[in-house]
Amino acid sequence: MTASRTEAPTTESARLYEAARHYFPGGVSSPVRAFNGVGGTPRFIVRGEGAFVVDADGNRLVDYVLAYGPHILGHAPPCVIAAITRTVANGTSFGAPSTQETELAGLVQEFIPSMQVMRFVTSGTEAVMSAIRLARAATSRNLIVKFEGNYHGHSDAVLARAGSGVATLGLPDSPGVPAGAAGDTIVVPYNDIEAVREVFAEHGGRIAAVIVEPVAGNMGVVPPAPGFLEALRWQTTAYDAILIFDEVMTGFRVDPGGAQTLFGISPDLTTLGKVIGGGLPIGAYGGRADLMRQIAPDGPVYQAGTLAGNPVVMAAGIAVLRELAKPGVWRSAADATSALAEGLVDAAQSSGVSIQVPHVGTMLTPFFSEVPVTDYATARACDTKRYATFFHSMLQRGVSPPPSAFETWFLSTAHGEDEVALTLEAAAEAFSDIG
Ligand SMILES: *Cc1c(COP(=O)(O)O)cnc(C)c1O
């Protein structure tokens, strides 16, 4: 945008953003933060407190971004801050095993028993990259099946988009991704059981793994169709391929035990991130012991990390999972999510605005669509201009939704009746601006 070069910035955030654009592509460290999906300039956040964030101009906003998922207990929960503070006082990193790693792994396994053996890494991207390497090594095959609109981090193999046709060998989704890297990825429409069946009938003996967001969250929330995850489990088993559930987002969010617990399907490998680091950098992958024991140094599949298993990050994750293990804690965030989803539908209806608000556990997305959203094509067909208008109306009224029609709204245990009521009041006015 050139406007900021000719007009003096009117807010502190706009002034800070100008300075940032000098150093960073788009002025940001990750693209969605630049507000390209909705226009305008991003707010600089200086503080978080429970369900709220405070921006550089002193505006206090009910936050549904929650750092794109990690803060399931809200911002700066005392138990997490205390754990971080206590741990960091002893030093930040040692490159040696720590008791915190073992404790966090034990908690993760209590919630997600399929993670018999696991490894901590420093991002979800890295977790997925490593799980794919392991799947390829264990099967001596190269092909990966992924679904349109699912996001698995930014490594080459999963930055593939669909070509034309129902299920196609992937094309690079970014310059710099070699055709070979994307060409070993088959892209299939989400929720299309028949397409999955066809892909296995044609390529089954060459497929190393199927990777899926078991509840899609990176095109907005799109739940799996009945039988879809079962079909993935069935096909991968029949062809000796590995089933990877990418639960970096859904882990602890759609259910305390993730989508695999909610739907009762056990993948071979699971990737985690976000919630398990309490807002500090983390990823994890794990699953069947016979597979995970192939990772170095037990086995030949190489994967390493200087800062992996960092004790401060581990301590934050332990504090989060201990809190989530208490009766009723997770449920309160899920209840607030259903109340918000239902309230948004009612408020939109009152203004004659067509929306769909799919919600699972502590995640929801308002899609401006007259028809249910079931895959990437129906998600793309939503009215993104309406979302942008709605987004800015909400921001003006003290609510911070994600700055893209295709991002999930996250709730936390700090989002109670008052925060939901405040949000629905703002939404009623924002919908009437649109309607
Ligand atoms: C966020 C996310 C990732 C990538 O995690 P990073 O920590 O951003 O690298 C991978 N998969 C899914 C499903 C995600 O939501």
What ligand 1 atom has the least distance to the C-alpha of 249? 15
Strand 242-246 relative to strand 269-273, pairing: parallel
Q: How far is the CA of 3 from the centre of ligand 1 (A)?
A: 33
User: What pLDDT is attached to residue 7?
Assistant: 65
CATH number of 80-324: 3.40.640.10
Instruction: Return phi, psi of residue 235, to 5°.
Output: -65, -45
Instruction: Return phi, psi of residue 352, to 5°.
Output: 70, 25
Q: How far is the CA of 210 from the centre of ligand 1 (A)?
A: 17
Q: Cβ(83)–Cβ(76) under 8 Å? A: no
Going residue by residue through the chain, which has 435 residues, state the pLDDT in tens, using 9 for 90 and above. Answer: 444 455 678 999 999 999 999 999 999 999 999 999 999 999 999 999 999 999 999 999 999 999 999 999 999 999 999 999 999 999 999 999 999 999 999 999 999 999 999 999 999 999 999 999 999 999 999 999 999 999 999 999 999 887 767 677 888 999 999 998 999 999 999 999 999 999 999 999 999 999 999 999 999 999 999 999 999 999 999 999 999 999 999 999 999 999 999 999 999 999 999 999 999 999 999 999 999 999 999 999 999 999 999 999 999 999 999 999 999 999 999 999 999 999 999 999 999 999 999 999 999 999 999 999 999 999 999 999 999 999 999 999 999 999 999 999 999 999 999 999 999 999 999 999 887
Catalytic amino acids? 151, 246, 274
Query: Which residue has a Cα nearest atom 11 of ligand 1?
Result: 152
Q: How far is the CA of 157 from the centre of ligand 1 (A)?
A: 14
Q: In angstroms, rounded to a whole number, what is the distance separating the alpha carbons of residues 64 and 411?
A: 6
Query: Which residue has a Cα nearest atom 6 of ligand 1?
Result: 124
Among 28, 151, 271, which is best to mutate for testing ligand 1, by the most ligand atoms less than 8 A from CB? 151
Among 248, 282, 362, which is best to mutate for testing ligand 1, by the most ligand atoms less than 8 A from CB? 248
User: What pLDDT is attached to residue 6?
Assistant: 55
Q: Cβ(394)–Cβ(430) under 8 Å? A: yes
Q: In angstroms, rounded to a whole number, what is the distance separating the alpha carbons of residues 398 and 167?
A: 43
**Was domain 11-76+328-434 assigned CATH 3.90.1150.10?**
yes
Angle between the 384-396 and 417-434 helix axes, to the nearest 10 degrees?
Answer: 130
Query: Which residue has a Cα nearest atom 15 of ligand 1?
Result: 249
Q: In angstroms, rounded to a whole number, what is the distance separating the alpha carbons of residues 75 and 316?
A: 12
In this structure, the chain runs to a length of 435
- 88's CB contacts (< 8 A; 6+ apart) are 312
Structure tokens at 18: 């100008």
User: What pLDDT is attached to residue 231?
Assistant: 98
What ligand 1 atom has the least distance to the C-alpha of 218? 15
Q: In angstroms, rounded to a whole number, what is the distance separating the alpha carbons of residues 171 and 331?
A: 41
Q: How far is the CA of 77 from the centre of ligand 1 (A)?
A: 23
What ligand 1 atom has the least distance to the C-alpha of 124? 5
Structure tokens at 326: 């208490």
Helix (H, G, I), strand (E, B) or coil at 283: strand
Q: Cβ(399)–Cβ(54) under 8 Å? A: no
User: What pLDDT is attached to residue 161?
Assistant: 85
- 79's CB contacts (< 8 A; 6+ apart) are 73, 319, 320, 322, 323
Q: State the amino acid at position 45 in one-letter form.
A: I
Q: Cβ(42)–Cβ(65) under 8 Å? A: no
DSSP assignments along 194-246, one per residue? HHHHHHHHHHGGGEEEEEE-SSB-BTB-BPPPTTHHHHHHHHHHHTTPEEEEE
Domain ranges of the chain: 11-76+328-434, 80-324
Q: How far is the CA of 285 from the centre of ligand 1 (A)?
A: 12
Distances (CA, A) of 98 to 94, 95, 178, 286, 315: 9, 9, 39, 18, 10
Among 28, 121, 128, which is best to mutate for testing ligand 1, by the most ligand atoms less than 8 A from CB? 128
The residue among 122, 135, 100 whose CA lies nearest residue 270 is 135
Q: Evaluate the omega torsion of the peptide bond into residue 297 and state whether it is cis, within 30 degrees of 0.
A: yes
CB atoms within 10 A of CB 390: 24
Q: State the amino acid at position 218 in one-letter form.
A: N
Helix (H) or strand (E) run with residue 263 in it: helix 258-263
Q: How far is the CA of 131 from the centre of ligand 1 (A)?
A: 13
CA 230 to chain centroid: 22
What ligand 1 atom has the least distance to the C-alpha of 282? 7
Q: Cβ(333)–Cβ(123) under 8 Å? A: no
User: What pLDDT is attached to residue 384?
Assistant: 95
Helix (H, G, I), strand (E, B) or coil at 104: helix
Residues with CB under 6 A from ligand 1: 123-125, 128, 151-153, 213, 217-218, 246, 248-249, 273, 283
Q: Cβ(363)–Cβ(217) under 8 Å? A: yes
What is residue 272's DSSP assignment?
A: E
Among 125, 126, 212, which is best to mutate for testing ligand 1, by the most ligand atoms less than 8 A from CB? 125
Q: How far is the CA of 176 from the centre of ligand 1 (A)?
A: 20
Residue with token string 């799996």? 224
What is residue 43's DSSP assignment?
A: P
What ligand 1 atom has the least distance to the C-alpha of 128? 10
Q: In angstroms, rounded to a whole number, what is the distance separating the alpha carbons of residues 122 and 423?
A: 34
Helix (H) or strand (E) run with residue 61 in it: strand 60-63
